Amino acid sequence: MCLAIPGRIAELVPERENLALVDVSGVRRKIDVGLLGDDPAKAGAWVPIHVGFAMRKIGERDAADQMRVLAMLGEDQAAMREIEGYGLVVSRR
């Protein structure tokens, strides 16, 4: 199953274009935000993440709803393993 898990952009990484640090349920990792195109990434924005890429911007309420749906489907832990498995984890809270 293809999973997208919501994360909140904590900061843009100044050393590299289209790279941002996001927080996903306490795990901070770097993702590519280049697919956002005409709607550039900003700190505080929520984005669904799939395979290390932000797919689009969503609202905080939509992010919470998406996490609830993943939990109801029993896919929330698999999504977190996917987030942690890219090798770009910066920190865990």
Q: Write the CA distances from 7 to 23, 50, integer angstroms.
A: 5, 10
Into how many domains does the chain fold? 1
Structural domain range at position 45: 5-92
pTM to 2 decimals? 0.79
pLDDT tier at 90, thresholds 50, 70, 90: low
Residue 57 has pLDDT above 90, yes or no: yes
* Mean local confidence (pLDDT), 42-68: 92
For residue 44, the domain's CATH number is 2.30.30.140
Q: Which of 31, 36, 43, 28 is nearest to 93 (CA)?
A: 28
Q: What is the percentage of the chain residues whose pLDDT exceeds 70?
A: 84
Q: By CB neighbour count within 10 A (0-12 exposed, 13-18 middle, 19+ buried), where does 31 fall?
A: buried
Alpha-carbon span 30 to 64, nearest angstrom = 21
